[in-house]
Every structure is written in structure tokens, then in C-alpha cells.
Chains A and B, each alone.
Chain A
Amino acid sequence: MTYALEMQNISKRFPGVVALDRVTLQVGRGEIHSVVGENGAGKSTLMKILSGAYRKDEGTILLDGLPIEITSPQSAIDAGIGTVYQNLNLIPDLTVADNIFMNRFAVRCGVAIDRKATRLGTEDVLGLMGCDISPSAIVADLSVADQQMVAIARVLVGDIRVLILDEPTSSLSPQEAERLFVNMRSLAARGVSIIFISHHMEEIFNVAERVTVLRDGGLVGSWGIGELDEASLVHHMVGREVREMFPKAHVEIGEEILRVSHISVTGWVDDVSFSLRRGEILGIGGLVGAGRTELVKAIFGAIAGRSGEIFLDGEKVAIDSPEDAVRQGLAFIPENRRDEGLLSDFSVEDNIVICNLQKFTRGIFVDRKSCQTVSDRVIREMAIKTPSRQQIAKNLSGGNQQKLVLGKWFLRNPRVIIFDEPTRGIDVGAKAEIHRTIGELAKNGVGVIVVSSELPELMGISDRILTLSKGKLKGEFDRRDFTAERIMLAATA
């Protein structure tokens, strides 16, 4: 049998690391094929080789049985391999139509862009996907979900045989994701082979026909989806049983540490009051756009136009900026680690040190010795997978970046830690580790607030859950009363 795409014995080495070791991937025509693995398993590297962003060191790539050389993004596109990157890679200042037709503008009179053809082509391809985004809208003004659709449309407009979707659902609501799956199936029915990267088991079992599992740069195996269940797939990925996704340690809950009263943020949060106790993990749920992030950012002083009062250990405190919040012992771990949580061009060590500079200063100098000791300790304690403390933060995988952000805050012994979507875009194994870490924090008497869109996660780790709907507090549930139905009901109220 000839596969639509066959990558044979692909190897790729980076200085000091073997990223891929003789990995083989075989995708049939019109097949939706999931490639899964933990962070650092080599999925991204394999996909980057296929899309022309990296060159392979060894191995062969066959398209419909014929060997091809992929030397650049352009040569991958020419061969009919289209990629939708996780970070979308759109051009923010240009219109939707310009983005979609960037490398293939129809031209009149030899020079001028045929603007009518461009507009109609854009409407066609977006219509095909069942979305009605204006071709003349500026991409930066669109919602993330719409940007995702534009990124996929941009690939579809070409003559495409293999479509790579790298975590396409990470910023989509369940409805939007379902619409995407419908589109994927109709594309596959037209003969397009789809490689689907996702960390969500239910999505993989929903949409994929085959699964190839990578671990530590090597191939574990490839199975039809019917031959697996979630537990066996996770077992293949991590090479061990992940017994407890949500290890919930018993923690003595102490007295009140934080109380917020009548917090409002114009347009987002409407008169929310709650309290948090030592050792407690408070989950905040709700739909995207319900004002969850805005609420916690407001508490952290990172949003303008907040009203209401904040009490720490019973004392009223003025928190008007993140600086105030940090001084009062609050920590905030943002969702967007790359932009808000890390200096991504700096080393692991510098990231740890900069956030705690006073600690490392002797006289007017930075105490390099203690910087090194402490960074090594953080790397060890947080189990950050990195070749050294000198590694540049952006080269770490998503889960390890998250751990680095955590480690940074750990050093400051905060009284309250706020997490915004702590495990978004993170694989199963690292997720469990982060959940464990959050539990450890609580055990040490810290008050923890977790904002999450994943209900199983919220229910797994929280002692109490608050639900927001359209900026209002719509429900409060103790752990013994958790049911998915009741919480969802409150979130959609």
C-alpha cells in the first residue's frame, strides 16, 4: 500500500540533544492521524521538518510513494503540505484577505492585485468553513477563534494534500472546536490527509483514525484508534501509568487570608465578593469571556478601572499595580507565559534571578554564586527539564516554561498565588506534575486561586469552585457538592 505521506527513519540532532531518533510516520490518504507525546517527545520537531522550518539530518520523506526533499517552508507548500502553527503566524497589521492570499495574490495586468478575485476567494474559502469573517477586517482586531479560522483558511486556499494542525483547539471553545472537527472530516473526505496534534484525549478519540506515539525523540508505535483507550494511550505516551491525574492531598485549611469585596471592572466584572483561606485551592470557572481573567487581574492590580476593596489577613490593602500586589505577597501566573510570564530571550537562571534581584544582591553587585546555587535548586525542585541553567527560556517546552514561571514565584514565599489557565497547551504528564505542585503550595499554607476552562481540572484540584457568568458571581460549590452538570449550569446562567 502506498501512503499519502511517509516519513521514514527521520533523525534530527541539536547541539547536545537527539531530538528525533529514526522516527517513522505513515499517513494514509484522507486519514486523520494524531501524533501524540509528552513535551519534548519530538512532535514539534517532526512537524517542523515536514513543514520545512527545520532540515532533517537523516531519513526519507515520501509523498504518494515518491521521495521529496523539503528544504524550506516554500518547498513544503509547493509539495502540498500546509501547516497551521499553534501560534498561528498571521500577519497582524494586514487584512484577512491579504493574509489568506499573501503568497498567491491573483494579479491583473501583470502587476496590480486583483482585489475582487482576492475578496471573492476569501469569502469562498471562509464560507467553505462555515464562518463569516469580513475579508477586509484587520487580523489583529479579530478574536483568537476567528484568527484560527483565518490561519486554516490560508492553508486550505492552496492545493493541499497534507494538512498539519498543531494544537488547533487550544484557544477554541467546545462549539468552535466541534465546528473545526466537522471541517476536518469533510476535508479528509475530499482526500486530504490531516496530521492532528492535540493534548486533549477526548478530541483525539473524537476525530482521529490513527495515532502515532512518540516518546523522548523515539517512536513508540502506531495504532488504529479502535485498538486503544485513553488509559492505554496515556500509558504509551508517558511509559508509565499516570494513576492520578489530579492528586489531591489532604490539606488542613486555615483561617481567612484574602477577602475581596465588591470588585467591579467596567465591562467585565460586576460586584464580585469572596474570601480565600490558608491552604485552600479556590477554583474559578466560567465560559471564555465571563470575566474570570479580568477578575483575578483586577485583584492583582493589573487592570485599570477597578473598584472594590481587598483585605489580606484581615487588613485592608491598597493594590493599584502589580508592584503593590507583589509587595503584599500576591503572585500571579498568567496564561500567556511567553508574553507575560517569562523573559523568553533570557536564560533560565536570569529568569529566576531577575524576579528576585534583592535576594541576590551583595552591596551593589549581583552575587553570582548564590544565583547559580538558587537556580540549580529551583531547576531541581521544580523538575525543570533543561540541559543547564544557561538554556534560553524560549527553547524550553511549554510545560517546562510553566514550571520555570512557578519556580520564579516560589522563591518569594507568596501568601496568595493566582493561576490563570495553569495547564493550557501542556501535555498530560506535565499537567499532573503542575497539579501536584499546586497542591504542595496549598500544603505550605499558601492561598491558591486557579482560573481554568477545563472542568475536570477545576473539579480535580479545587476545594471550592466559584463560577462567573457575564461578570457576575453565579455559583459557589464545596468539594463534596461538585458535579459537572451543576457547575456548567451555573457557568451558563
Chain B
Amino acid sequence: MKLSFGLLRGTGSLIALVLIVIVFSVTSPVFLELNNLMNIIVQVAVISVIAAGAMFIILTGGIDLSVGGMVALAGVVSASVVRSSGSPALAIVVCLGVALMFGILAGALITYGKIPPFVCTLGIMSVARGLAFVYSGGIPISNFPAAFRFAGAGSIAGVPMMVIIPIVVYAALWVVLNRTPFGKIVYAIGSNEEATQLTGINTRKYKIIVYALAGLLTGLGALMYIGRINSGHPNSALGYELDAIAAVVIGGTSLSGGRGSIVGTIIGALIMGVIGNGLNLLNIDPYYQSVVLGTVIVLAVMIDQNSKNQRA
């Protein structure tokens, strides 16, 4: 039993994804249609981009609960900028900038302020969400120029940006994580932070960079989100922090840091998308989707824990 858990770990999420796809393609005739598959990817695009950042943070042994609030805040601020200034470029910079600033702030508070990541990002989640309401007065801001909506609603050669962006992001991050010193350091910090520090690496600096990177990716996610729904709303992206963490965990990244793969994270996001989509096609009560997803998350962590015990 234990051995099978251990084997599952590396390729487990991929096997799970394939099995789920097989089940739904048998039970629902439309599931495998190209349109539907595109639909799934578009559904999970925002979460997958945000989860990539969350994955880096979790690899260092941290956690980020702030992404939902940050999407809302970056969304409403950039929405109002594009409406008032009419400059999509400026609004895009503002959207990414706001999220980036909050990422750097989180990183600085966690490293120099010595606040545990859970508490720090919990606070930022609340602050960001609150600021989003304060800034917008609770009123959604809608109807943007096409250039501002490009990340969420545009396409290149008929392929939606919602498909292109995640692919580009994940390809780039795969290289960063597997081929650059920075990537090794991210793993090393999560595996043994003290040891990493004693090799002469400024772990605080790298942790701040990781939170900044996650912030930037959250900003990109916000841009895709408001572009797609054509509206900036302070109540948007509720619960995204948990979805992002779920994707990372289902993808096999250890919550205690140091182990995990970026490919696993995209598979984790896809598993969530496929389950949601498949259950929809089968006309299963949406409330049950939540039950199924929760079960999947718990199973994923159980696999993680069991493979860890084996190592020890």
C-alpha cells in the first residue's frame, strides 16, 4: 500500500488526470469535443497562472492566502484607471504593479518582519479585499477597450490568449525552476533554509523575489480575469487563494516545501477544471462539485504525507 503511494507521487497527478478524462469521455458524449476541451483550459487559465506563483511560494515552505483579494484590488484599480485615463497600457502597468507591490510587501514582512507567511498573507488578503471595496465604493466598473481586455478576451491566430498565456508562463517557469540557480535556491530554501543560508545565500532576498514573482503572476491573472468578464468588481475572485493552493497540492507539491514540480501544478489545475466541467456535463448539482474537489485535495495531501514517511 505504502509503496503504491510512493510510486504515485511522481506521476500520480498525471495518471489521475488521465483516469478522470477517460471516465468523463465515456459518460458524456460532448466531453472530448474540441470546444469543450478549450472551454476547460479557459476555465482554469486564471487559476493556473496564479497557482504557478503559489507553487513557488509553497516550494520555499511558505503559503499565500492573499491572491483573491489581490485580484479584486488590482482589478478595480486598473479598471478605474483605464476608464479615467483611457490608456490601456497605463492600466495594464497599474494592474501588474499593484499586485507586484503587494507581493514585495508580503515578502518583506515575512522575511524582515518575521511574520509567518500564513498570518501575513491572511492579513493582506483582508486588506486588499477591503481596499478594493473602499476604492470602488462597492460598485463594479465595466466596459473596457479591447486592448485592455486582450489578455482575457483576445486571441492570436485564433488561439485564445487564455490558452496562450498559461502555456508561455508554465514553459518559462519550468526553465526557471529546473535550469537556473534561482530555481535550485527556491527548492533549497524549502528543503533546509538554515543550511541554504549557511552556504552564503541571502535567503531573505530570494524569498522576497519569490513573493514578488507570485504577486506579478497574480497581477497577470487579474488582467486575464477582468478582461474575460469585462468588469472589475471588488467581490471578484472569491476563494481563489484556496483554489490555487489546491491546484499546487493536487499537483504533488509538498506543503512543507522543497519538493514538487511545476508540471504537476498545471496538471493539478487541469484536474480541478476537468472535474468541474465533467460534473457539469453530467448535470450533477454544483454543490457536489465542491464535495468532490475537497475529497481530491485531502487524498492528494494523504499521498504527500505517505510518501514523506517513506523517505524518513
A residues with CB within 8 A of B = 51, 53, 72-74, 76-78, 83, 85, 88-94, 98, 102-103, 105, 107, 111-113, 115, 140, 154
Rounded to whole angstroms, the CA-CA distance of A85 and B199 in the bound complex is: 11
Instruction: Tell me what chain B mostly uses at the interface: helix, strand, loop, or mixed.
Output: helix
CB neighbours (8 Å) of A73 from chain B are: 197-200
Rounded to whole angstroms, the CA-CA distance of A103 and B199 in the bound complex is: 6
Q: A73-B200, A74-B200, A113-B179 are in contact. Are A98 and B184 (CB under 8 A)?
A: yes
A113 engages B180 (CB within 8 Å)? yes
B185 engages A85 (CB within 8 Å)? no
Q: Which residue of B lies closest to A87 (CB)?
A: B195
Rounded to whole angstroms, the CA-CA distance of A77 and B199 in the bound complex is: 8
Chain B residues 175-215 with CB under 8 Å of chain A are 175, 179-181, 184-185, 187-188, 190-192, 194-202
- Some 22 contacts from A to B, beta carbons below 8 A apart, are A53-B198, A74-B200, A74-B202, A83-B198, A89-B195, A91-B195, A92-B191, A92-B258, A93-B191, A93-B258, A94-B184, A94-B188, A94-B191, A102-B201, A103-B200, A107-B181, A111-B180, A112-B175, A112-B179, A112-B180, A140-B311, A154-B199
A85 engages B180 (CB within 8 Å)? no
CB neighbours (8 Å) of B191 from chain A are: 91-94
Q: Which residue of A lies closest to B259 (CB)?
A: A93
Q: Which residue of B lies closest to A151 (CB)?
A: B195
Rounded to whole angstroms, the CA-CA distance of A93 and B308 in the bound complex is: 11
Rounded to whole angstroms, the CA-CA distance of A74 and B187 in the bound complex is: 19
B200 engages A89 (CB within 8 Å)? no
Rounded to whole angstroms, the CA-CA distance of A140 and B311 in the bound complex is: 8
3 closest A-B pairs by CB: A89-B195, A74-B200, A93-B191
Rounded to whole angstroms, the CA-CA distance of A94 and B202 in the bound complex is: 18
Q: Which residue of A lies closest to B194 (CB)?
A: A89
B residues with CB within 8 A of A = 175, 179-181, 184-185, 187-188, 190-192, 194-202, 258-259, 311
CB neighbours (8 Å) of B175 from chain A are: 112
Closest CB of chain A to B65's CB: distance in Å? 25
CB neighbours (8 Å) of A89 from chain B are: 192, 194-195, 198-199
A90 engages B180 (CB within 8 Å)? no
CB neighbours (8 Å) of A98 from chain B are: 184, 187-188
Rounded to whole angstroms, the CA-CA distance of A72 and B198 in the bound complex is: 9
Closest CB of chain A to B61's CB: distance in Å? 11
Closest CB of chain B to A322's CB: distance in Å? 16
Contact check: which of B188, B190, B259 meets A102 at CB < 8 Å? B188
Closest CB of chain B to A148's CB: distance in Å? 14
A102 engages B196 (CB within 8 Å)? yes
Rounded to whole angstroms, the CA-CA distance of A90 and B196 in the bound complex is: 8
Contact check: which of A51, A93, A103, A111 meets B201 at CB < 8 Å? A103
Contact check: which of B192, B197, B198 meets A92 at CB < 8 Å? B192
| Max chain A C-beta neighbours (<10 A), residue from B181, B192, B202 | B181
CB neighbours (8 Å) of B197 from chain A are: 73
Rounded to whole angstroms, the CA-CA distance of A76 and B196 in the bound complex is: 15
Rounded to whole angstroms, the CA-CA distance of A94 and B260 in the bound complex is: 12
Contact check: which of B184, B190, B192, B258 meets A90 at CB < 8 Å? B192
Q: A91-B192, A112-B175, A140-B311 are in contact. Are A102 and B184 (CB under 8 A)?
A: yes
Closest CB of chain B to A76's CB: distance in Å? 8
CB neighbours (8 Å) of A76 from chain B are: 200
Rounded to whole angstroms, the CA-CA distance of A72 and B190 in the bound complex is: 21
Closest CB of chain A to B190's CB: distance in Å? 8
Closest CB of chain B to A40's CB: distance in Å? 22
B195 engages A90 (CB within 8 Å)? yes
B196 engages A91 (CB within 8 Å)? yes
Rounded to whole angstroms, the CA-CA distance of A405 and B192 in the bound complex is: 26
| Max chain B C-beta neighbours (<10 A), residue from A91, A112, A115 | A91
Rounded to whole angstroms, the CA-CA distance of A111 and B183 in the bound complex is: 11
Rounded to whole angstroms, the CA-CA distance of A93 and B192 in the bound complex is: 9
Closest CB of chain B to A49's CB: distance in Å? 14
